Structure 1
């Protein structure tokens, strides 16, 4: 028994995007936490709880915090979440409603994580959870590939959004489990939250001075070292899209499938329209619909009509 659920795979017809390809959509927006984050954080909390841990601390831009708070509630443990000021009031309220203590610290995830480490130093019995840089999380996220393969779906690339790189690391592990390491991962970021692409260009991990994209769920100023190392060992194609591209893709997805997703997820969908030439070698892409709680119709509309 796991805290996450098996999510369905939808199929978008070739006319859905400029790529003119049938697209598999792994619908992790349907997780109880609203995002894929429950796969990894749920596994970490389950294992720590089984080892006797009853208190957890986690920094997050929103989605990881909500997933961690959900996991703690289901297990009967306590959870302290630290978010940066960029986390929306709606996301903060959602986390509190799950019974977690919530602190706000700094302007970025890095600031929030520093505060979470301070809290953990003051509570030696608590487990400090990292929202993306943890092998147990990657193991949990890999289950999304397990499910797609178990259902017999054929795919020849995986498209996903990249923030800190935990999802990408998990997908890579899932592909390895099934002898599919040759399948390329299309790693999509928005301009202003593009630490992976900048790191690949520089040849080493780069730290952004600030996150300037509205896709705050991609808002790690630097990707995990492991995520960067993966780009040197396997086929990973970095792409960038604009915030406007990502929001447009969110609205189109909502119209087509009646599901709201964050711009961080919209970025992956937008890649098929913004970079159709990249997908010419492929016949059946798989898109991870990572979801996200920091979205509403009002917010999408405001983002669309904004500057």
Structure 2
């Protein structure tokens, strides 16, 4: 049995009314680990177990780490997650709840990741948060489900951090004959590594990251995400932190589901009417979720 679930595909009356077209929600926030990450990470973990892995190692205190911890518990495989000092107490608690061993190390993800890689033995599988074809293959299943449910979107909206979701969605669209359909790639202004690379015409690393959407905090997108922006229609978009948070709160009121600011970046394009969509028939937005979001953290930001 798959570690991820088939998530709802719902038409959003409020967002459809705001944008003058049918807006469809792929509600990945309903995944058992709290985000879309379990699709790709679950697939990767099952792959590694079939090849003899005895332990999983991850370097994410957010959605990816929680997906690894959940997969490990379900597969009865020990999990070690190395997180930087900036990781919230809530994230550490959730990782522990899933049975993972949590090691706090370094001031950034890069430092935590260096320790994770140094701990890996021949019996271990290392799970990268976003840069792995196994993950993209698993994430692509959400588009398979959308098409199976009878929807062929005219545009797709995703949030972009490291680019794993973008790569997976694009792979799913390609194998379902949707390669010409544009993908709107949403980032917050302080985390816009894809936008910077597209403008530069090459992969670039942001000198620093800032903002509330910490799940988008990759200083450089993966190579595959950058390549996709050259191979198919990918439109980079940016929103402010406040717009992302306000979109999360509006989404909570409208759809009774809590998501994090990284997901709010996509939703803000719709709540803020930042795209010309009225001539399209069906627009799909990936509601990617957010394992550690709380109402208190969102309302504190805009207070």
Does the TM-score normalized on the shorter chain lie above 0.5?
yes
Whether 1:8 and 2:8 are equivalent positions in the alignment is yes
Alignment partner, residue 65 of structure 2: 65
CA contact (8 A) 1:108 1:220 kept: no
Alignment partner, residue 159 of structure 2: 161
Alpha-carbon distance between aligned partners in 1 of 2:163 and 2:186, rounded to the nearest angstrom: 11
Q: Once the two structures are superposed, what CA deviation does each residue of 1:233-254 show, in whole Å capped at 9, x if it has no partner? A: 0000000000100000000000
Alpha-carbon distance between aligned partners in 1 of 2:102 and 2:259, rounded to the nearest angstrom: 23
CA contact (8 A) 2:22 2:283 kept: yes
TM-superposed deviation, 1:297: 1.0
Alignment partner, residue 277 of structure 2: 279
TM-superposed deviation, 1:208: 1.4
Alignment partner, residue 177 of structure 2: 179
Out of 266, 269, 274, the residue aligned to residue 268 of structure 1 is: 266
Whether 1:24 and 2:24 are equivalent positions in the alignment is yes
CA contact (8 A) 1:61 1:219 kept: no
Alignment partner, residue 47 of structure 1: 47
Alignment partner, residue 202 of structure 1: 200
Secondary structure of the structure 1 residue equivalent to 2:19: coil
CA contact (8 A) 1:110 1:221 kept: no
Whether 1:36 and 2:39 are equivalent positions in the alignment is no
Across the aligned residues of Structure 1 and Structure 2, the Cα RMSD in angstroms comes to 1.4
Alpha-carbon distance between aligned partners in 2 of 1:104 and 1:278, rounded to the nearest angstrom: 45
Whether 1:80 and 2:80 are equivalent positions in the alignment is yes
CA contact (8 A) 1:36 1:290 kept: yes
Alignment partner, residue 141 of structure 1: 139
Alpha-carbon distance between aligned partners in 2 of 1:162 and 1:238, rounded to the nearest angstrom: 9
Alpha-carbon distance between aligned partners in 1 of 2:248 and 2:14, rounded to the nearest angstrom: 18
Out of 226, 229, 232, the residue aligned to residue 228 of structure 1 is: 226
Q: Once the two structures are superposed, what CA deviation does each residue of 1:157-198 show, in whole Å capped at 9, x if it has no partner? A: 110100100000000000011111011111000011110001
Q: Once the two structures are superposed, what CA deviation does each residue of 1:71-106 show, in whole Å capped at 9, x if it has no partner? A: 000000011111223322101110011111112223
- Greater shift, 229-238 or 82-91, is seen at 82-91
Alignment partner, residue 253 of structure 1: 251
Secondary structure of the structure 2 residue equivalent to 1:226: helix
TM-superposed deviation, 1:275: 4.8
Alignment of 1:114-153 (within 5 A): 114-120=114-120, 123-153=121-151
Alpha-carbon distance between aligned partners in 2 of 1:278 and 1:85, rounded to the nearest angstrom: 41
TM-superposed deviation, 1:107: 3.1
Secondary structure of the structure 2 residue equivalent to 1:279: coil
Structure 1 unaligned blocks of 5 or more: none
TM-superposed deviation, 1:143: 0.2
Alignment partner, residue 89 of structure 2: 89
CA contact (8 A) 2:24 2:284 kept: yes
TM-superposed deviation, 1:109: 2.4
Q: Once the two structures are superposed, what CA deviation does each residue of 1:193-233 show, in whole Å capped at 9, x if it has no partner? A: 11000110001111112221110100111100111011010
Secondary structure of the structure 1 residue equivalent to 2:231: coil
TM-superposed deviation, 1:300: 1.0
Give the TM-score normalised by the residue count of structure 1.
0.95
Alignment partner, residue 299 of structure 1: 297
Alpha-carbon distance between aligned partners in 1 of 2:17 and 2:215, rounded to the nearest angstrom: 24
